[in-house]
Each structure stands twice: as C-alpha cells, then as structure tokens.
Structure 1
Amino acid sequence: MTRFIVLILFLPVIFTPAYSTNAPTTSKLKHQNASTVYYVRPDGGSAEQCTGLVDAAYSGTGTGQPCAWNHPFQALPPAGTPRIAGGDTLLIAAGSYVMGYGAPGAEMCDEIGSYDCVMPPIPSGPSPDQPTRILGVGWDAECPAPPELWGTGRPWFIVNMMDTNNVELACLDITDHSGCIENHSGELACERDVAPYGDWASYGLYAEDSANVHLWNLNIHGLAAGGVHAGRLTDWTVENVRVAGNGSVGWDGDLWDENGDSNSGTLLFRHWVVEWNGCGEPYPVDQPIGCWGQEAGGYGDGVGEAETGGDWIIEDSAFLHNTSDGLDLLYHTLGGTITLNRVWAEGNAGNQIKVTGQTTITNSLLVGNCAFFEDQPFTYWVDHCRALGATLQIVYTGGEQMSIVNSTIYGQGDGLIGAGPREGFECNGNERIQLRNSVVLGDTDYFDASDITFYFYQEGCGALKLDSDYNIAYGVKNLDCGTTNDFTASGSHDICDDPQVTGPLSGMAYDMTLLPSSPALDSADATLCPADDLLGNPRSAETCDRGAYEQ
C-alpha cells in the first residue's frame, strides 16, 4: 500500500517509511485502560446487524448479532452521532475501506454534496492516560498490513479531529485512488463541479483545537490537496509517520479561518518523513506526476505553518523533494523554541529549512540542490530555487540565540545560511548565530554561473556576524578563514579547503559522507560533539569528525 516505494529505498535506517518500527511501550500500557473495544472487518455487518463488540464475521442473518462492523463509518457515521464513546478503542482489520459517498454506513450522504460525506469528529478521550484509540489491527506488532482508508467523491478530509483531545491514531494507510490534483493548472485537475467527482479526497487528516494526540505508524499519501491540515494544536506527538505525494502540501498549519492557527505546548515529531508534496500520486502507479509550485498556482511546502508558537522538537526526520520549502517554520513568531536533531532535508525546490525564533540544529544534513526538479519527467511547473534557494534561512523576532553543531550543509542557490528579522519585527542587537564542527560546501550560484554561493549573509540585524569555528568550508564567498569580515567572524580552527565528500553531487540523494583523506576527520572540537551522528553511530569522545557523519 505504500506508494513511491521506489523513490524512498535510499533512506537511511532512521528515516524509514511508515509501519516499520515497533509499537511504543506506552501505547501497549494505555490499551489496557480501554473502556470498550469495537471491531471493524470487511466481512462484518452494519450497525443494525452487528454489535461491533466481537471480532467475528456477520453470519448473513439476524440483527444485533455478536459480530464486527463492516466499515469505520458504522462507528463514526457521516451526519450522525458516533457509536463509540470517548476512551473506547476501534480496531480496524486489514482491508480496503472506501471513505465517502456510497460507503457502508454513509446512507445519509448524497452524491451532489458528497464533499461533506465525512466522519464526525473522533470523540475525545476522558484524559491523556485514557485516550480514544483508532487502530489498525497489527498496531502492536509492527503493523504488517495496515488497513487502507481511501477517499472518494471529493470529501474535505478522511479523518476528522475537530475539537478532539486525548486520541491515539495508529497503523493506518490514508489515501485516495486518483492521481488528480485539486485545482491543478495543468491537465491533472480533479473534477470539482459535476458529480460523480471521482475517487479523490482533498486531505487525509483534519484537526483543529486538538490536544494530547499521538499519531504513529501512519502513511498519509496521494491526497489531491494535502496530507494533514491541522492547527491550534497542543502537545501532539507524531512518530513514524510518512506524509508523501500530496497534490499541494504535506502538512498545512493554516486553517483559513479567523480564529488563529497557533500551536502550543510541545510538538514532538520523530521518524517523520515528508516528501514529494506538490506532486500527484497516480493510483496504483508508484511515480510522481505533475509536480507544480507557486508560479503555477500551487503551493508545495512539505511542512508549512501559519503564525504559531510552541516548542517544536523534530528528530530523525526527513524533508525531501517537495516543490517549495522542505520545513517552513518561518511563522514561528509567537514564542517557544525549535530543536532539530538528526534532520535530513534535500531536494526541496525552495529553502530546505526555514526557522524563526530560538533554534538549535544538531547532526543534520541540509542539501540545497534546489534545482532538483529542473528537466525532470515528473515536473509540470516548479519554481526552481524559489526565494533565492538559500539552504537554511534563520529569522529573528528579536534577541534569539541560534546554534548549529556537527551538521553538513550544501547549496546551489544564492547562499547557504541567510539571516534577518522577521517581517514586522526588529533585531535588538542581542541576536547571535554560532556554527561549530560543520561541513559547509558551496557551488555555482544557480542564478549566476559566474558567481558562487555565500557562506553567510544577513540584512537588517545591524552588526550581526556568524560566529564560526571548527568548520570546514569550500566553494563559498563571504568567508576568510581565521579573520573577521563584514559577515563572518571566523575562528582559528576554521579550514577553507575541500572537505572531500564522497559524492557524486547529483541524483536523488547526494552522498555527503567523508572520504578517508578528508581534513574534516578527527578535527572537530570534541567538547561540543554530540554522542552520536546523523545515523545514530557513536562519535569518538576524543577525536570526533566535523559534519553530520562520523566515519
């Protein structure tokens, strides 16, 4: 059921697609606290025929029988009242379940208005320790056969989490069965005006005003507009979730209403793969099509947030080949921090990473091959190196301290690390940005073949300079190793030399590991090196390497 599998085989172990990790122990313990367990399986019956309380097929006769329901809509009927209560568990067996007009349990839907044929909000659990659970069978055994929930009839979304708190969602494949892209300006536009609309859905999951949610082992892919549309979240945990091949955006945090969008608390993401958004995913073919960006009327961010706060912690995650920015937290202006540990961003057509506010980046690989989509057979119209294609964009609201440690940064846009104040804010002179133990590799400027990428550049923050030491940089401007210039204060341990990465610097994934002769080996400041590297390999306590990889 996981499409685009051909394109993600190169992912390192820590960036595995959905369904590959063991179920968290905390979830196994929570399951013991469930109030009532209901069952769904393809050979079950309707809510009139079966109680849903027994994991058994419907016999074919009688009502109120001890058997499973035949569809998730029997538990969560469109335009109806949920038959499960907060704190209950709904176990969905392997199979393919159409979500929309014509599905079992959707008798209240009509074809012309089938965009409203969606489940009601999942009932909130009584407390974080007793969540409502929607689980695919096998959720506790590495999810070998996740049930497929696929949209038809252009529903706004498949999973509804409006005003939903204390919920666990796991071991599900959420998708549709069409390669159309909603509002595409080319030949792939979905039918929106005349029913039947086709086998597509706009979004996979919608959430607003939602707290204490745990998403894990989910594959949200191939939707016509976006994978996740979610805002005003508090204390969400997302683990081993893939958001891929959605027509306009992967994870969209702009709710389009007048009540704001800001998240709060801790937003924790681990093993989160966000890739190929802004492209269509035809069914059942496993290759992207019609990739489009903002000049064509699309969007293309892997993750795009509106004005938000919250403490964002993103670990062991990847943002790959999205048609605009990879991870866009430019609007993180309402307080909180950003922590990126072991993050891989590559091949996104805009900036690989954008952050605003107090930020720490460690053990991360940022490969700014922002012209990746140029001349590709799956490209319709993409803005190559959008917003000048700086690999990492650092933005201040006033006085923040930014730290980048043991990371590898490459770029072919205008520059590698850009900085300045967020629109509507001013720098106050207390801003800092420190780069340590990193490998920084420039290239020819995509926009000017006679120029090369900058090491660091800022506008609007007074005398702010990049505090650089124990780095190795090559093919860049705005850097004079061991001296201070207009943009960089370079320490005595900076090296301006070829880091000798393995290469080639081409294709789907640039090999940025180090050759045995690299001057980056065993030359970092060991007092700052983290315990392990990008791939989880242990670093030497006394002579660690510069960059994201320990050789």
Structure 2
Amino acid sequence: NGVIAGTPTTTGNFSLTVTVTDSQSPAKTASATISLVVAVPPLTITSSTLPAGTEGTTYSGTLQASGGTPAYTWSISGSLPSGLTLAATTGVISGTPSVTGTTSFTATVSDNGSPVQTKSLTVSITLSAAQPPPGPGTTWYIRADGGTNTQCTGKTNAAYPGSGTGQACAFNHPYQMLNYSGNWTSFAGGDTIQFADSASASHTYYMGEQNSGVGTDWHAQLGGICPAPNAGNSQGSQCILPAPPSGSSGQHTRILGQNAGNCHDSGHTHLVNPTILSGIDAAFVVLDTRGTDYVDISCIEITQPDTCTTVAGAGQCTDSKNYVRYGGLLLNYQTQQGPSNLTLQDVAIVGTAGSGILGSHLNKSSSDVFSATDVYVIGNGQAGWNGDGGGCNTSCETVGTMNISYATIDWNGCVAVLPYDMTKPDTQNKFNYCYGQESGGYGDGFVQIAAGNMTMNVDHSHFRWNTQDGFDSLHLSDDVKTSPAIHISTSWSEGNGGQTFKLGAGAASTAINNVSISNCRILSNASAFPLNPSGWALDSGDTCRAAGDQWAFQLNNGTAITLENNTSVGYGNTMYDIECAAQAPNCAANGATFIFRNNISKGYADPGNSNTLASGIYLGTGNVFANSGSAIDHNLWNTIATGCPESYLSAQEKIYTCGDPDLVGESNINAINPNISSSSPAINSGIAISGVTTDFNGKTRANPPAIGAMEP
C-alpha cells in the first residue's frame, strides 16, 4: 500500500529511489527519487506536577521527559525542600523532608544529542505537617466556651449550651479533668487532650491558682493542691497538672493545641496560633512529663504573664507577680526518671522566670527515642534547655536516642519582655534582666550533662545570644564507662556569652555544615540591640567567659571526633580547644582521634582584649592529630594568631588554603553573612567526603566541594 512505517533509530536526510509496478501484462513501472528526513523530536518535560508529601515521611517523586536523545541529565535551579535530593540520571527526587509548605524551583533536563537540547520548567512540591499518631482512646476537648466537669462531659467538641448538667460539650480548662487531690479523673493512657479553640488566633489558659486578679480560683474544686487566691507563691506553686498517663508504642497519649498539624511557618521561625499555657502564681512547672512513656505534645506555647526572673537582682519575681518558678516543661527532677519516647512537635517555651526545658534522665532502653521538632526556647530567665537532672552527676543518665530538629534556642539568661511576638525576629523583640553564671544566673542555651550509651542527633537548629554557652554537650563524656555520641549538623551558634559549640564523646561525635560566630562581647553592648529596655545588658564577668574559646572538645580514650565543612569566624583565646576528659587524662596516648577537614576559620580582632586574634588549635590532649586515624587537611585559615598552618602541626597539615575566604558579609563581626562569594578561594578547594552531599543551605555539594559550610 506504499506505507513506510516503523520507529527510526537514527536521524538525518535519506535519499531513496522508489519504484511502483502495476498489474497489467506487460507490467508498467515508474520510478522516482524521494527524500526522507528523520528529525529528533523536541525535548519536553512531561511531569508538570510532583506529588505532595508529608514532613518527616519518606518522599519520592519523578521528573519525566520525552523527545530529544536519551539518556537525560537533570539539574535544579533554586533549592529543593530540606531533606530531599535529586538523582541527576533518573530525575527521582527522594528523601525525608524536614519542612512544610510549598517550595518552587526550576527543573532542567539535558539530552545526549549533538547539539544538546535542554528544557526547563518551574515545578513545585507541597509538603504538609506530619500529624501525631492517633490514639485509640478517648478524645477530651478543651475550649474557652466549654463548661465545668459537672456541666459537660468533655467528650464533644461543642460549647456549653448555657444550662443543664452532663451536657455533650467541651471542658473550659484542663483543670476540669482533675479531682480534689489534683489527680486525673478519667484521662487514661492512649487518650488525647485536644484544645479546640479557633485556629485563627491563639487562646491562653492560665495554669495555676488565681493571683493578683489573673486566672481562676480553683480552691473550691482543687483544694488538695490549690490554695485560696493570693495565698502566696510557696503554696500556689503546687497548683499544677500532674504528668499525663503513659501511652504505648501504638497508643500514644497526646496533648494537642488548637492548631496541631499546621502549627509552624515554612521557614521554621515561629509557631502559628498555638494554644498558650501561661503559668501563674509561681507555678512549679507548666507541663510535667516525669516518668511518662509515649506521650506527644504538639502546638503548645508555654509562658507567663509577667516579665520577671528567678535570679536575685533587678527584675526578680515577687509574690505579686505571676510567673513560672522552676521550668516551663519539666523532664525530670533530681534523680527521678524522665520521659521515654516523648515527642515534642511545635512547642515553644518563652519568657519564663526559670528554665525553659529542664531535666534529663531520658529513656529507659536503647530502643527508646526522644524527638523534638520545631521547638522554640526563647528568653527564659535561667537556662534555655537545661538537660541536667539536678545533682545527678552520672546517676541518672540518658540512654537511647535524642533527635532534635529545627530548634531555636535564643536569649536565655535574659527574660523576654511579655507579651512576646514570635512572628518577629529575635533582634526585633525585647529582652531584659540578663544574668550569667558569675552573677547568680545560668544562661546556657542548650546543655545536656548526664548521658549513658546515648546518641544525640541535632540538625537545622539555632543557638544565639544566650548569656552562657550556645550548644553544650561537652560533659556527656564525663563518665568514661559510657559511650555517648553527638552528631550536630546544619546548625548555627552566634553571639553567646560563652562558647559556641561544645562537644564531648564516648565513642564518636561529628559536627558537619555548621556556622559558628564567636562575638561574645555583643551582649555587653546595649547599642547593638536598641529595642531592648535599659537594664538588659550582660555584666562584664559573664561576657566572653572561658576566655571566649569558640569550640571546645572533650575526648575519652578511643574517642573519634570529626569536624567537616564548618565555617567558624570570631575572636577569643582559641578557636578550637581540644582537651581530654578528667577521667581520661592521657586520651591522645590511648587512641583518641580527630578528623578536621574542609573547615573555614577566620579570626577577628577582639575589641575587649587589645584587638588580639585567637590562636587556631590548642591541644591540651597532646598531639591527637599524630595518631593513626586522625586527619587535618583541606582547611582554609585566615587572620589566625598562630598562622597558616600552625607550625606545630606542620607535620600533619600538608594540604591547606591560606587567605581571605571572601564571605558575602565579613566586614562586621556582629553582622556576618557566612555565604561565600563567587571569587572565594574556598570554591572547589575541599575534598569530597562520603555522606556530605549538601551544604548548610541544602544545595548539592560540588565535586570537589567548597571549603566551609556553604557552596557559592
């Protein structure tokens, strides 16, 4: 029938002679030369949309193309959601996302033709917040227009109709679920407390006995724990909720705020309309989790009404003040058992007089997991996250795993001026009454002290403007009989009164893709924070404590610590202080190792110490870099007092870069932008490291990668 058909396997212009013969006798024939042009079909991206996903849940979506000349190569302009990566040869985007919201980016595909065809398309991925696992038990509803425990059953999400008893409606306060002695009535393991006010604005519940006209008089209903109104803080402090009943691995007990599941912004900077629990009358704590198992807390903000602190001095709380005396969220007290398998998601502790989160002794077994995601611990008068059980030493050690992601731990040791607006950057809010350890306070941002065979993973977190250290895990390795491990990545520490990062280790610890800015004197400079009230600035005794060392490390015998692709700038005595634990004074001679690669270290003149520059590495351990398994290479050094490289490490450090890293913003130590410019000598000067495939910003690492936390 004259049809030429099939699938061409090559391209080009083809000349062919065709002949046709008819059926006459004799047959007649005719011939002609014709051309057949086989062209490459245009390259097209056929996947205009990608599947939606859920934060914290494995994701996979595939970019697809047709036409052109396979095989295809894919690339991304912009950034994928944090936690996701692109396979260039297959177009598969996969991983476990750690953000919510819609992220748009440009996908580009190239074919294998000559010349190469390319095609680009803007696509997006929408990620929703993970919902806490449902419990099979009863859901108890709390809403401001609910009723008492005689008026309502608490099992229906409805307002109290205004009359009658035993109505199908919500309770008006969680205290309605307590008996006279302050114990839970019907709340059981696997149940849920669901605050059910409108998600369009936060609602506040006052936790404690009425004081100075604030809160509710609970004395008649809860006389076993709540005194008469205004009875004095020593009595009112016990008018608190008991620890929730434990759930199980398949039946979590839950305390959910009114906006749970949609409770933080896409940039992980603040909560969105959480339920607010405000401690009054010197409440001992606001939420207690001691001894619990499988409890989830989500979309809750803990605070207090008055701006005051428990530290003696200006701003100290009095009996007429409404405040939280000990800790906003209590994990354990002294040697008591803390929670096992506790999950904190979208929780803020802001402006309490004591510590924000207090206690340790977490988990009971190696399989237990403590999880905290989108936790904001800001402006608490003592420490921010104080992981010390209180006088435990090593008698109440944490075991299992701690996973902490997207924690913001700022301005602790000072008190947030209340009411505090979480939607504004910390530098735009007000803080007051700053005290450090030398002046009777505390002021650590995050500190975890007693640890057994525990692994702590921290990522995407910030530790800033705390009056003592930023991130302190140094003393996890105090007990040489245990083997804790700390892994911190893509985190930022800046402007703390003491050190930025402190890492201990029993077995192995790592710090990868972090930003460290040591500018401790900023906290004594009130003009740097003009919106703060008078009286806030940190005293000279606590400013730049521990000689302002930037990083501090504590090694045991056989310890391995790894620092890779970090950017560290600032001043102080020493940038990297490497010591042995007190119980392992000869750790370097007993097998400790240290890997130090792809790090930017840039010194600045110390304005409070005759403009001196910090030295690079101090080895109180002995030369751990001389040990087999240690390494120091592919680092960039700039304006370090001890030179580039340090002479006493010249036998070990053979590959290095000396010179200005050319950061995007580096002229002012108090306003650093640690990204590197396009002319930085750090670009492609590092060494590829297995497992380090993205940078601080989630951008794919080049091969070879840039030195420091960021690719250009």
Q: TM-score, structure 1 length as denominator?
A: 0.90
Aligned to 1:156: 284
How far did residue 544 of structure 1 move? Answer: 2.0
Structure 1 equivalent of residue 571 of structure 2: 412
Q: Is the 8 A contact 1:164 1:207 kept in 2?
A: no
CA distances 1:385-408 after superposition (whole Å, capped 9, x unpaired): 110111110111222111111110
Summarize the Cα distance change of 1:87–1:400 in structure 2 as closer, same or farther, 3 Å threshold.
same
For residues 327 and 308 of structure 1, the distance between their equivalents in structure 2, rounded to whole angstroms, comes to: 16
Query: Aligned equivalents of 2:217 and 2:586: distance in 1?
Result: 56
Identity %: 28
Contact 1:467 1:488 in 2 (8 A): no
Letter in 2 for 1:308: A
- Segments of 5+ residues of structure 2 without an aligned counterpart are 1-80, 83-97, 102-126, 198-202, 265-271, 364-368, 421-428, 528-535
> How far off is 1:478 after superposition?
3.5
Structure 2 counterpart of 1:8? none
Question: Displacement, 1:508?
Answer: 5.4
Structure 1 residues 512 and 70, CA gap change in structure 2 (3 angstroms): same
Change in CA separation of 1:438 and 1:24 when aligned onto 2, cut-off 3 Å: same
Q: Identify the range of structure 1 (102-111 vs 200-209) with the bigger mean alpha-carbon deviation.
A: 102-111
CA contact (8 A) 1:522 1:543 kept: yes
Counterpart of 1:531 (choices 693, 696, 704) is 693
The answer to whether residue 467 in structure 2 is matched with residue 305 in structure 1 is no
Find the counterpart in structure 2 of residue 190 from structure 1: 317
Secondary structure at 1:547's aligned position in 2?
coil
* Alignment correspondent of 2:3: none
Please give the secondary structure, in 1, of the residue aligned with 2:289: strand
In structure 1, C-alpha distance between the alignment counterparts of 2:434 and 2:604, rounded to whole Å: 25
- Which whole-Å CA distance do the structure 1 matches of 2:444 and 2:585 have between them? 26
Aligned to 1:477: 641
Among residues 648, 665, 669, which one is paired with 1:503 in the alignment? Answer: 665
Change (3 A) 1:488 1:339: farther
Q: Does 1:254 align with 2:397?
A: no
Counterpart in 1 of 2:675?
A: 513
Indicate which of 537, 553, 556 corresponds to 1:379: 537
The AA in structure 2 aligned to 1:363 is N
Instruction: Decide whether the 8 Å contact of 1:293 with 1:323 is kept in 2.
Output: yes
CA contact 1:468–1:489 (8 Å) conserved in 2: no
- Give matches, 1:357-376, under 5 Å: 357=505, 358-376=508-526
Q: CA deviation at 1:468?
A: 2.0
Match of 1:241 in 2: 375
How big is the shift at 1:197? Answer: 4.0
Confirm or deny: 8 A CA contact 2:600 2:708 kept in the other structure: yes
- Counterpart contact for 2:378–2:384, Cα < 8 Å: yes
Amino acid at match of 1:379: A
Matched, 1:97 2:205: yes
Out of 237, 249, 253, the residue aligned to residue 128 of structure 1 is: 249
Alpha-carbon distance between aligned partners in 2 of 1:426 and 1:257, rounded to the nearest angstrom: 24
Amino acid in the other structure paired with 1:395: Q
Please tell me whether the aligned partners of residues 284 and 324 of structure 2 are also in contact (alpha carbons under 8 angstroms): no
Counterpart pick for 1:227 among 331, 345, 356: 356
The two structures, once aligned, show a CA RMSD in angstroms of 2.4
Mapped to 2, the partners of 1:293 and 1:19 lie a distance apart of 34
Kindly indicate whether residue 395 of structure 2 is the aligned counterpart of residue 267 of structure 1. Answer: no
Match of 1:543 in 2: 704
Aligned 1:55-454 pairs, distance under 5 A: 55-76=157-178, 79-83=181-185, 84-94=187-197, 95-102=203-210, 103-104=215-216, 106-107=218-219, 108=223, 109-110=226-227, 111-112=231-232, 113-125=235-247, 127-142=248-263, 144-185=272-313, 187-191=314-318, 195-208=319-332, 209=337, 210-234=339-363, 235-257=369-391, 260-284=395-419, 286-309=429-452, 310-333=454-477, 334-357=482-505, 358-376=508-526, 378-381=536-539, 383-428=542-587, 429=589, 430-445=591-606, 448-449=609-610, 451-454=612-615
Which residue identity lines up with residue 370 of structure 1 in the other structure? Answer: C
Given the two structures, how large is their TM-score scaled by the length of structure 2? Answer: 0.70
Change in CA separation of 1:489 and 1:534 when aligned onto 2, cut-off 3 Å:
farther
Conserved? CA contact 2:666–2:672, under 8 Å: yes
TM superposition shift of 1:529: 7.1
State the Cα deviation string for residues 270-314 of structure 1 (Å, max 9, x = none): 111111001111212631112221121111100122332310100
**Quick one: higher RCO (CA 8 Å, sep 6+), 1 or 2?**
1
Name the CA distance, whole Å, in 2 between partners of 1:77 and 1:40: 17
Task: After TM superposition, give the deviation of residue 485 of structure 1 in Å.
Answer: 3.4
Check the 8 A contact 2:260/2:299 in 1, yes or no: yes
Shift of 1:318: 1.0
Compared CA separation, residues 230 and 499, structure 1 to 2 (3 A): same
Residue matched to 1:47: 149
Q: Structure 1, residues 438-477: CA drift from partner, whole Å, max 9, x if none?
A: 2111122456426321110111435656832111110113
Residues 73, 104 of structure 1: 8 Å contact kept: no
- Which residue identity lines up with residue 59 of structure 1 in the other structure? P
SS at match of 1:73: helix
**Mapped contact 1:20–1:217 kept (Cα < 8 A):** no
**Aligned pairs, how many?**
526
Question: Is the CA contact 1:51–1:64 (under 8 Å) kept in the aligned structure 2?
Answer: yes
Provide the residue aligned with 1:6 in structure 2.
none
CA separation in 1, counterparts of 2:315 and 2:154?
Answer: 40
In 1, Cα distance between equivalents of 2:572 and 2:170 = 56
Amino acid at match of 2:156: V
- Distance in 1 separating the partners of 2:711 and 2:149: 57
Note the C-alpha offset of 1:78.
7.9
Provide the C-alpha distance between the structure 1 equivalents of 2:359 and 2:328, rounded to a whole number of angstroms. Answer: 11
Indicate the residue corresponding to 2:11 in structure 1. Answer: none
Note closer, same or farther for the CA distance 1:295–1:278 as it changes in structure 2 (3 Å cut).
same
Q: Note the alpha carbon deviations across 1:209-256, whole angstroms, 9 max, x for none.
A: 210110010111100011001211022100011111001110112222
Q: Displacement of 1:75 after TM fit? A: 2.7
Q: Please report how far the alpha carbon of residue 153 of structure 1 lies from its aligned counterpart in structure 2 after TM superposition.
A: 0.3
CA contact (8 A) 1:300 1:325 kept: yes
Query: Structure 2: how far apart are the matches of 1:395 and 1:443?
Result: 25
Structure 1 residues 499 and 257, CA gap change in structure 2 (3 angstroms): closer
Structure 1 CA distance, aligned partners of 2:360 and 2:667? 37
The offset of 1:189, in angstroms, is: 0.6
CA distance change for structure 1 residues 213 and 24 in 2, over 3 Å: closer, same or farther? farther
Distance 2:658 2:639 in 1: 9
8 Å Cα contact 1:19-1:171 kept in structure 2 = no
SS at 2:175 equivalent: helix
Matching residue's letter, 1:231: S
Which amino acid in the other structure matches residue 386 of structure 1?
Answer: R
Alpha-carbon deviations, 1:411-433, whole Å to 9, x = none?
21111111111223323321121
* Separation in 2, partners of 1:19, 1:38: 29
Distance 1:290 1:363 in 2: 34
CA–CA separation in structure 1 for the residues paired with 2:543 and 2:373: 31
Q: 1:490 to 1:347 in 2, by over 3 A?
A: farther
Q: 1:54 to 1:549 in 2, by over 3 A?
A: same
Per the TM alignment, residue 261 of structure 1 is displaced from its structure 2 partner at its CA by: 3.5
Report the Cα distance in structure 1 between the residues aligned to 2:689 and 2:583, rounded to whole angstroms: 38
Segment drifting more, 470-479 vs 129-138: 470-479
CA offset digits 1:170-209 (Å, max 9, x no partner): 0011111111011232x21111xxx444344432100122
Paired residues of 1:405 and 1:529 also in contact (CA < 8 A): no
Q: 1:499 to 1:151 in 2, by over 3 A?
A: same
User: Quick one: distance in 2 between partners of 1:76 and 1:161?
Assistant: 16
**Which residue, out of 486, 504, 507, partners 2:648?**
486
Letter paired with 2:665 = G
Question: What displacement does 1:320 show?
Answer: 0.8
